[in-house]
């Protein structure tokens, strides 16, 4: 089992964002759907320890998540957040930063192509990208770390159909060519079915 | 340096209050709504400076280093208390500020004494210490105020950087850098324009007291460089200690 959550609870602002939430997420691709505010983004942040639960337990590959060194865990279980937030500079400098942190070699063109971006994006200033382009640059940056698990929070929410299809094709290919696992939040049930081997519904 | 002294009569101080009245009148006329603050500020300046004047007189007369150190310690403490209000978006800022002011004061005063620039006597240590600690307080307050604002603005970017496996220090680096810079920039800028746009206080005081312009300029330069040192140390120490308080030991952003 990739992840296992047992009776997980987390409070924010005096109320429970997650309460007694249990789920098992095997290797492969899992899509998470649920209404806005259900706690989908919060769940992903728990999985790479950007936050810790107030109650319950989370296991990653059978071991408690707290046993993993957080920095190493985050390079292995890479989160692409819902809102793009790149570092100042060019797209390439963002990719290099991520690759260096993970100690990985970087092929800029190849990494950009995997996220559906053409090579001309390498030198572009991130402050001058559209939101959809930033979203793909964020995906490329995560891929530059060659993670074992990708946590994707609404990765195509700002993309048009063509760009969305390109990203979905990349994700499908990555899964075929490597044993990358995906945990993907989507508000689109169609996309959840297209990309997910299984779909987890989060209650409101 | 020549020892000079002038005598200021009480009526001269009272006469200068005319300018305070003028300030209050302008505020009232233009509805700046600062009359109350002006009155309070004037009252506090009279009481505080008079008390400090007596304290300094006692310390000069007692002529022991221990009283000087006690006075400087009190200044560091109240400096940290004051700066903490300006840094209200920084969690637990008091400790970092206290350490920053103490280190800035101790190292700069220690250096000027060790280099033989000033004698370790109350006559030098009290006024120089007061300036050093006062400027260190302003610089660290500005730096931490900026740190609080920047950390709030950059939350999403910092968390996205942590998500790549960066350490708290790496993720906060651009923010810490900007905060440090804003703490130091005011004094660096005023050092650049000193003598052109404004006459620094020490020089004005020495000229008024009848010192030669050469002495006044030399002493002013020494003090400016001393202040540059203390301002850099306090801003650096305060930001480097305070940014950690935004993170948990597991390199997560704290909920504030
Ligand atoms: N730091 C916080 N303080 C207060 N409330 C919070 C905090 N973080 C999250 N919440 C609340 O927790 C709930 C779940 O948030 P979360 O972002 O996980 O939802 P989501 O399922 O991802 O929603 P969406 O589909 O809109 O992105 C929301 O009601 C949100 O307002
Ligand atoms: Mg969300």
- Name which residue leads in pLDDT, B3 or B47: B47
The pLDDT assigned to B50 comes to 93
Q: Is B254 in the pocket of ligand 1 (CB under 6 A)?
A: no
β-partners of residue A6 are A57
Q: Please give the radius of gyration of chain A, using alpha carbons only, rounded to the nearest integer.
A: 17
**Domain CATH for A9:** 3.40.50.300
B163/A74 touch (CB, cutoff 8 Å), yes or no: yes
Identify which of A104, A95, A82 has the alpha carbon closest to the alpha carbon of residue A156. A82
Interface mutation vs chain A, best among B160, B173, B256, most A CBs within 10 Å: B160
Which chain A positions have a beta carbon within 8 Å of B253's beta carbon? 50
C-alpha A152/C-alpha A139 separation (Å) is: 8
Given a cut of 80, whether residue B240 has pLDDT beyond it is yes
Minimum-distance CB partner of A72 among B156, B159, B165: B165
The pLDDT assigned to B2 comes to 44
A85/B162 touch (CB, cutoff 8 Å), yes or no: no
Which residues of A, range 38-57, sit inside 8 Å of B by Cβ? 48-52
The pLDDT assigned to B211 comes to 86
Minimum-distance CB partner of A101 among B160, B166, B251: B166
Confidence tier at B4 by pLDDT (50, 70, 90): low
Identify which of A9, A18, A53, A52 has the alpha carbon closest to the alpha carbon of residue A37. A18
Q: Give the residue extent of every domain in chain B.
A: 1-62, 64-246
Identify which of A138, A140, A175 has the alpha carbon closest to the alpha carbon of residue A153. A138
List the residue whose alpha carbon is closest to atom 6 of ligand 1. Answer: A12
Identify which of B188, B203, B52, B43 has the alpha carbon closest to the alpha carbon of residue B129. B52
Q: Report yes or no for ipTM above 0.90.
A: yes
> Is residue B146 within 8 Å of B183, Cβ to Cβ?
yes
The pLDDT assigned to A116 comes to 85
A83 at interface of B, judged by CB pairs closer than 8 A: yes
pTM above 0.90, yes or no: no
- Name which residue leads in pLDDT, A57 or B1: A57
The number of folded domains in chain A is 1
Q: Ligand 2 mean position to A40 CA, how many Å?
A: 5
Which chain A positions have a beta carbon within 8 Å of B156's beta carbon? 81, 83, 85
Q: Is A37 in the pocket of ligand 1 (CB under 6 A)?
A: yes
Length of chain B: 256
Q: Which domain holds residue A152?
A: 3-201
> Is residue B75 within 8 Å of B131, Cβ to Cβ?
no
The pLDDT assigned to B5 comes to 67
């Amino acid at each position: 089992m990739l992840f296992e959550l047992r009776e997980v609870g987390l409070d924010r602002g005096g109320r429970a964002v997650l309460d007694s939430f249990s789920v098992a997420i095997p290797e492969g691709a899992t899509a998470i759907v649920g209404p806005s505010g259900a706690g989908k983004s919060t769940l992903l942040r728990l999985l790479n320890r950007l936050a810790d639960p107030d109650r319950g337990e989370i296991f990653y590959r059978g071991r408690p998540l707290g046993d993993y060194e957080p920095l190493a865990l985050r390079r292995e279980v890479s989160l692409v957040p819902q809102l793009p937030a790149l570092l100042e500079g060019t797209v390439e400098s963002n990719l290099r930063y991520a690759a260096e942190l993970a100690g990985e070699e970087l092929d800029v063109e190849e990494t950009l192509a995997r996220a559906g971006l053409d090579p001309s994006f390498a030198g572009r200033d991130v402050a001058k990208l559209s939101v959809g382009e930033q979203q793909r640059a964020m995906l490329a940056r995560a891929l530059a770390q060659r993670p074992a698990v990708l946590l994707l929070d609404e990765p195509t929410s700002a993309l048009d159909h063509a760009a969305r299809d390109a990203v979905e094709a990349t994700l499908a290919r990555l899964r075929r060519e490597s044993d990358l696992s995906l945990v993907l939040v989507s508000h689109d049930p169609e996309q959840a079915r297209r990309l997910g081997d299984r779909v987890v519904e989060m209650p409101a | 340096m020549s020892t000079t002294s002038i005598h200021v009569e009480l009526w001269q101080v009272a006469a200068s209050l005319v300018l305070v009245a003028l300030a209050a009148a302008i505020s009232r006329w233009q509805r700046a709504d600062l009359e109350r603050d002006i009155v309070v500020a004037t009252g506090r300046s009279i009481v505080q400076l008079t008390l400090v004047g007596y304290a300094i007189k006692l310390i000069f007369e007692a002529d022991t280093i221990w009283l000087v150190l006690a006075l400087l310690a009190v200044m560091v403490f109240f400096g940290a208390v004051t700066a903490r209000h300006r840094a209200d978006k920084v969690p637990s800022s008091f400790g970092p500020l206290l350490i920053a002011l103490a280190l800035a004061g101790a190292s700069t005063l220690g250096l000027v004494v060790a280099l033989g620039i000033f004698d370790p006597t109350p006559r030098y240590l009290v006024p120089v210490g007061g300036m050093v600690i006062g400027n260190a307080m302003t610089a660290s307050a500005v730096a931490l105020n900026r740190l609080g604002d920047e950390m709030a603005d950059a939350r999403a970017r910092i968390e996205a950087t942590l998500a790549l496996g960066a350490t708290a220090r790496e993720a906060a680096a651009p923010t810490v850098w900007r905060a440090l810079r804003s703490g130091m920039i005011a004094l660096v800028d005023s050092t650049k324009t000193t003598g052109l746009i404004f006459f620094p206080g020490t020089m004005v005081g020495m000229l008024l007291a009848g010192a030669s312009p050469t002495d006044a300029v030399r002493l002013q330069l020494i003090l400016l460089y001393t202040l540059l040192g203390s301002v850099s140390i306090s801003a650096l120490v305060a930001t480097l200690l305070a940014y950690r308080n935004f993170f948990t030991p597991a390199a997560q952003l704290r909920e504030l």
